[in-house]
Structure formats: structure tokens, C-alpha cells
Amino acid sequence: MPSFQKHFFSLLALAIATVSAVQNIKVQGSDYVNNVTSDRFQIIGIAYQPGGSAGFKAGSGIDPLSNGTLCLRDAALMQRLGINTIRVYNLDPSLDHDMCASIFNAVGIYMLLDVNSPLPNESLNPGDLTSSYNSAYLNRIFAVVEAFKNFPNTLGFFSGNEVIQFPGSQTNVPPYLRAVTRDLKNYIAKNSPRNIPVGYSAADVRDFLGDTFAYLSCHIDGSTSDVSRIDFFGLNSYSWCGDVDFQRAGYDVLVQMFANTTIPVFFSEYGCNEVEPRIWTEVLALYGPNMTTVMSGGIVYEYVQEKNNFGLVDVHDDGTATILIDYDNLQKQYNKLDIEQLQSGNSSAATLMSPRCSSDLIAESDFSKTFRIPSIPSGGQDLIDNGIDNPNIGKLVPVTETAVKANVYGSNGGLIKDLAIKALPEDQSNAPNGQDTTGSTSASPSGTSSGAEASSTSGAGTTGINLLLSIIALGVFSISHA
């Protein structure tokens, strides 16, 4: 075969390989399972919100999934770490997320996405529920669905995060959370090519936690098709601090609380930093036999180092980054996991039936016991029936650039050489694989910390595609079959 033919087919294979899609993950009873292989899916996740909530600004043209260059860098480090899921809190549904979502898809990493934001009118206001629950708010959260519904690695949407937290919120907020969940699920059913689960992320406020779970996960009137019921439940838990154990961290209490769950339950945040550096001994407990019969994994808080000192990676304004010791320690714990065992089925997962909603499920006297869900606001049903106007619908695009161009340094100050993503077959999600991410030379980053603003590669896939088109245009080959 002539050399130019070999070059053409190499490029074509690369383009095809990096557009391949991961398999969808579905909810099956209290488990996540691969829609094709039926393997159980345990979340090995990380919170991904560069800049924090303060870094999200309307009209800036930037959100965590809008810059392909930064996503490529971070996906490469997450792939080495063993991450299979990211949680992203604040998104601008008007932006182009195609490259970032495609990069994470290529490396077998799923996305859990919050539909709300801290901006005015983009979340429920616990102090003014009736006014904040309106058609403009629904238009915003439906726009997030439109932006991510076509990505196969979209694992689910959070309808709320820690909305029930402060005294008084437990009385009025719960019915509205069920209303938002209902509206999201109805919109997905009408406007998405596949079912995408919708759930809630709760604060670990033990006075409210059990009642929040019971209220949101039961079936009203005993109907198994009740769309106001959440599909999964996340818990933001920071009770394991330092080198404690299962009992002292209160994990035994959590396992008992959720023992009869009929939906997936997982830590939507974890990683107490009261003792530093973090040594992550909770990882072996979370993915061990005492918890995997009930829990579906967890999401480490967080990827990017911010002022709160929870980060695993310090990113710099020139696009370079430095791994922190917490990353190394977490990687060592992940590498001890038995992934094959984690993927094995849970025989009891699909056998339990969710309870019918009743006041008997609620323990605290001041927690809402009414299951009368607010009606959809004026104009909301039209959005569901006809879709929002001018949606920005995301799509997978080729990922032809795999090498990270910016320098990334290990916690020892050494430069990490040959950092790149590795596209996985479409039947695989990412998993810990025994890698070490130590820098190899004595070097140090030159950038300053935080808020990386490196140039975007929203067109990162265009180089290879343009070359393919050029070859075809020159008449080198004629491709007659797709």
C-alpha cells in the first residue's frame, strides 16, 4: 500500500476511534448498570468546577466544559488517576461543550451535571419558592438538558444541591424538589432520545437526611410510574477525617439508613480536609464489602485547588498544572481496588420495591409530610410539549488531538512526560489501573495559581478532519460506502 494510503487510513482510524461512544449507564433498582454488558457501575468520581461557584459568570463565554485545551489536560490526569465520573456544578447551556464532552467520552469518563447555577433566577430560592419556581427557571434547566442529552456519557442530572439544609427549609422545600424532578423527567421523556436519570444531592445534615431520602424516593399513591420520584440520591459527606475507621466516621449509620434503598445512593461529595494531607483511607471502606451492597461509589471533592484547599491539582494561569500530594495519595488507594469485583452484579438490587409515600415515612415532626406537589407554572407545560426555543444541542465530535501540550508537574516538582489521553473501546469506562503520576525531572511551573485561561480548543478536532477532507478533495481516494 502506498505511504499516502497508510497515512490516510491512520488518520481515518484515529478520527473514528475518538468519536466512539461509551455505553449508556442506566438505573436498575439500587444499582447503576451498563446498558449493554449489564456490568454494575460504581462511581469513582471527582468534582470538576475550576474557579468554584465564584468563577462562573454569565456572559463570560466560559464554564468548566467550554475549553477543550483545559479539558484535555484534566482528562489525561483524571484518566491516570482512575476516575470514571465527573460532577460539574455550574454550566452555561448556551456555550459549546462538544469538545470537552467528547474528550471525556473518549477516555471513558461520565458526567453528572447540576442543572442549577448560583446566578439569579437559575435555582430555587428556599426563601421565595413560589416566585423562583417559574417558566423562566424551567427554561434554564431544560436548556441544560438540551445541551447534554445527546452525549452518551451523560450519567444524570441533579435537580438540586443541598436545598434542604437550613432550619425551615425542611418544611417547604421538599414538595418543590419533587416538582422540579417531575418537570425535568417529563421534559427528558418528551425531548431526549434516551432516558437520563434525575436525582438530588443532599447535605449531610443528619436531622434532615433520612427524611429527605424517604420523602424524595417514595412513590406517591403507590404508582411505580411516579415521575416526581428521584432516580438516584447523592450525599455530600465529610464525616471521615484522617485515619479513622468505619464506625468512628459514622459510615455504619449511613449503611443502616440506606439499607433498603430502591435507587442508587452514593457520595456526591466526600473528602474531609481537616487532617492534611488527606490519606483517603475511606476509599477502601466505600468500595469495600460493608458498603457496596448499599452504596454506588462516590465523588471526591475536588479536582482544582481553590482557597478552600480541597483540590488535587493546582492549575496555573498559563495552562500548566501541578499535581498535589492528595492526588498521589488518592491514586495509591484507588490502585488497591478490585475493579472486577466492583463490576459484579448485586442480586438484591432489583428486588426491592419503593414504599408508597405517607407521613409514616417521615421521622421529624417539622419535616414536610404533604405529598401535594405544586403544579407546573404557567408556560411550563408548553416548554415540555414543544421544547424550548432555539436550544443549543450538543453532539459528539472527533477528538484528534490526544497529547497535552502544556507542562504538568508532579508533586515532587518533576515534569510529567508524554502526558496524553488514551481513547478506550466503547464498551469500557475508565478505572484505576495501577498507574503512577510522578514527575520525571527536576522542574517547576512558571505560572501563577488559579483560574486557568488557556486558549480553547473548541475546534481541537479540526486539524485531522481538515487533513482528511483535503486528501479526499484531491481525489486521492474515493470513498463510496460509509
What is the C-alpha end-to-end distance of the chain, expressed in Å? 21
What DSSP character marks residue 347?
Answer: T
What DSSP character marks residue 309?
Answer: S
| Among 122, 269, 282, 302, the one annotated catalytic | 269
Cis peptide before 302 (omega within 30 of 0): yes
**Contact status, residue 125 vs residue 131, Cβ threshold 8 Å:** yes
Compute the Cα dihedral for 331, 333, 335, 338 and give only its sign: negative
* SS3 call for 199: strand
DSSP string for residues in 358-407? -GGG--STTS-----PPPPPTTHHHHHHH--SS------------B--S-
269 counts as catalytic = yes
**Contact status, residue 450 vs residue 51, Cβ threshold 8 Å:** yes
Cα–Cα distance, 339 to 335 (Å, whole number): 9
Compute the Cα dihedral for 115, 118, 121, 127 and give only its sign: positive
Estimate to the nearest angstrom the gap between the alpha carbon of 231 and the chain centroid: 15
302 counts as catalytic = no
* SS3 call for 292: coil
**Contact status, residue 45 vs residue 436, Cβ threshold 8 Å:** no
Cα–Cα distance, 56 to 101 (Å, whole number): 18
Residues in the chain: 482
Grid look-up 484518566 returns 79
**How many CB atoms are closer than 10 A to CB 410?**
21
Q: What residues are labeled active site?
A: 162, 269
